Structures are given as C-alpha cells and as structure tokens.
Amino acid sequence: VRCTSAAEVADAIARLAVRGAPAIGLAAAYGLAVEARRGGDVHAAAELLASTRPTAVNLRWALDRATEQGTDAEALERFADGLARAQLEQDKAIARLGSELIAPGSRVLTHCNTGALATGGGGTALGVIVAAQPSHVWVDETRPLFQGARLTAWELQQEGLSFEVVPDASAAALMARGLVDAIVVGADRIAANGDTANKIGTYGVAVAAAHHGIPFYVAAPLSSVDPAAPDGAAIPIEERAEEEVLSALGVPVAPPGANARNLAFDVTPADLIAGIVCEAGVMRPPYGAAIARALAARPETGVLQDRDT
Ligand code: MRU
C-alpha cells in the first residue's frame, strides 16, 4: 500500500490495511513526514491520524513525540526512522525476556496478531512465542476480522512452528482438556494499574485461564502504557461498523435488517495477568509500582537516536 499523504495513511489505518498498536504508531509517524514533504499542515495531519483509532495509545504517543520535532520533513523522517529502529530493538528484548517465561515443550495460546505485521519489528507476543519455540501454538481465529487466521497463521507458517487455528469460542474448552500451558497476548493500551486493553475476546481468554490456573501474560512495549489512564475504565474502546460482524469477510451471514454491536477491544483486569513483558523486563503484580518504575527509567523520547545504534 503506497501512501503519499497523511490522509492516505489515515485511511489505511482506519480500514486496517496497517494495524496492530506499534505498527499504526509507526505508520502515523511516517504519515507526518510524508505530509511535511508535500507541504501540508503537519498539525492538522496529526489530528487526523490520531482520530483514526482511539484505543491503541501508541498512535497518540508516536504522534506527540513526532510533532515535538517540529514540522520539518527531514526531522520527521529521522524521527520515524528512529522509532522503527527502536521498535526492532524493543521487540528483540521482549522476545528474549518473554521466552524465559515459557517452559520447554509448552502449548501456547494466543489471540489476534502480534507478529512482525503488527509492529514493524519482530513482534511482541508472537515474538515471545517464536523465541520460546513451543511444541504447539493455538491460534484464536479472532472474529470478526480474523487477524489470527489470516495473519498469525501465516507468520507461524513462515517460522515453521506447529500450530492450529481454532474458533475463539473453543479456547476455554482447550484449557479444560489440559491442552494449554500458557497464554501470551499483546496490548493496545495498558493503564497505570496494569489493566490491559487488547483485541475483543482477550478478556474471555483471561477469565478462562484464571479458572484453569493457566498463566496469562501480556507482551507490549512501554509505548503501549498510558500513565494518564489510572485503570481500564479510562481506556476508550473503539467500536467499529456493524457490517464487520454481520458478514464474514464481505459475505453476509446475518439476515438483512439484523443489527450488531462491534466492540473492537476489551479490558483484562490486572489481577488476571501473571506478568507484563516489556523491553525493560518482566513486570509482576502489583503493576502500579512496577509500571511507574519502568516508565521513570525509560529514555526521554523512547526513540533511538542515530548515535544509539
Ligand atoms: O484491531 P487490530 O488488529 O489493530 O488489533 C490488534 C491487537 O489487538 C493487538 O493484539 C495489539 O495491537 C498488539 S500488536 C503488537
């Protein structure tokens, strides 16, 4: 997908041509650089880009850091390049740290897509899974848009890992049969207390995992943390078009005239999360203190400068 203006990037983000919290932050940063290059209004472009998807805080975080650089095209492009390099490094650290949580021979379940296609780097939760080399991966198909079946399955094929795509509704049944040893998912926004918004269906997986005593981990960079949101109730949840639920990839499944509710994300309470893996380490409950410490230790911009690489 070739974008030559911020409006085209905003459209690509809104229709999920690029999706996944870190990847949309990165795309938006490049969107500003492209807009500056064509002589457009960078601040208006930032507002347009920020309005596309409300839940992933990486989008707003990247736009705020980018506009701090000014409106010069070269400076904005340098910032976006630095962000891309930083995400690669962060993903590597997350994969290494998170893989230590997964015992050899584990069967791991994941939800949505958190691989390279979602970050621009090596992936967060899926990066952890690939680094851990589990014996099997259960891939939730991730209704209504099938990020699991379409993207995660493809990425696992490239990695040569053993996996099966499963309907979202079967995750609890797989746990009840003793077929799941650990769960790793990504995040769109982590509140200051550790409550975590992620793709709709994640919360149900976490509830079932708690019932079955299975560890449920979140893997995400610190740019997914929103210290201004005290808890999950403060996280805005995107609602998308009814048609995404009433049809499956364009094929109508519900009768004409049926209505649908399409919450794109849900919030998993911190007390259901065994650990949050970020580039600085594995945070454990109580998350409030651990998150505050990790944010305080983070470099000012969270973006690598040329001299850092
Ligand atoms: O609607 P999407 O496909 O952008 O949702 C993506 C997710 O929920 C991911 O789990 C999250 O953004 C983390 S991606 C590393």
Of 188, 237, 268, the one to substitute when testing ligand 1's pocket (max ligand atoms within 8 A of C-beta) is 188
CB distance 112 to 140 below 8 Å: yes
Is 99 a pocket residue for ligand 1 (Cβ < 6 Å)?
A: no
Of 13, 19, 190, the one to substitute when testing ligand 1's pocket (max ligand atoms within 8 A of C-beta) is 19
Q: Report the separation in Å between the CA atom of 185 and the middle of ligand 1, taken as the mean of its atom positions.
A: 9
Q: What pLDDT is attached to residue 304?
A: 52
Q: Report the separation in Å between the CA atom of 70 and the middle of ligand 1, taken as the mean of its atom positions.
A: 29
Q: What pLDDT is attached to residue 143?
A: 97
Q: What pLDDT is attached to residue 309?
A: 36
Predicted model pTM: 0.96
Is 198 a pocket residue for ligand 1 (Cβ < 6 Å)?
A: yes
Residue with CA closest to ligand 1 atom 15: 114
Annotated active-site residue 188? The verdict is yes
Q: Report the separation in Å between the CA atom of 207 and the middle of ligand 1, taken as the mean of its atom positions.
A: 19
Q: What pLDDT is attached to residue 298?
A: 86
Q: What pLDDT is attached to residue 301?
A: 56
Q: Report the separation in Å between the CA atom of 38 and the middle of ligand 1, taken as the mean of its atom positions.
A: 30
Spot the catalytic one: 188, 195, 226, 266. Answer: 188
Tell me the C-alpha distance between 31 and 42, whole Å: 9
CB distance 184 to 219 below 8 Å: yes
Point out the ligand 1 atom lying closest to the alpha carbon of residue 264: 1
Is 240 a pocket residue for ligand 1 (Cβ < 6 Å)?
A: no
Is 221 a pocket residue for ligand 1 (Cβ < 6 Å)?
A: no
Q: What pLDDT is attached to residue 99?
A: 98
Is 94 a pocket residue for ligand 1 (Cβ < 6 Å)?
A: no
Point out the ligand 1 atom lying closest to the alpha carbon of residue 220: 15
Point out the ligand 1 atom lying closest to the alpha carbon of residue 115: 15
Block mean pLDDT (10 aa), the chain, length 309: 97 98 98 98 98 97 96 97 97 98 98 97 97 98 98 98 98 98 98 98 98 98 97 98 95 97 98 98 97 89 49
Is 140 a pocket residue for ligand 1 (Cβ < 6 Å)?
A: no
Q: Which residues of 2-18 are buried (b: 16+ CB within 10 A; e: fewer)?
A: ebebbbbbbebbbebeb
Q: Report the separation in Å between the CA atom of 117 and the middle of ligand 1, taken as the mean of its atom positions.
A: 10
Is 111 a pocket residue for ligand 1 (Cβ < 6 Å)?
A: no
Q: What pLDDT is attached to residue 308?
A: 41
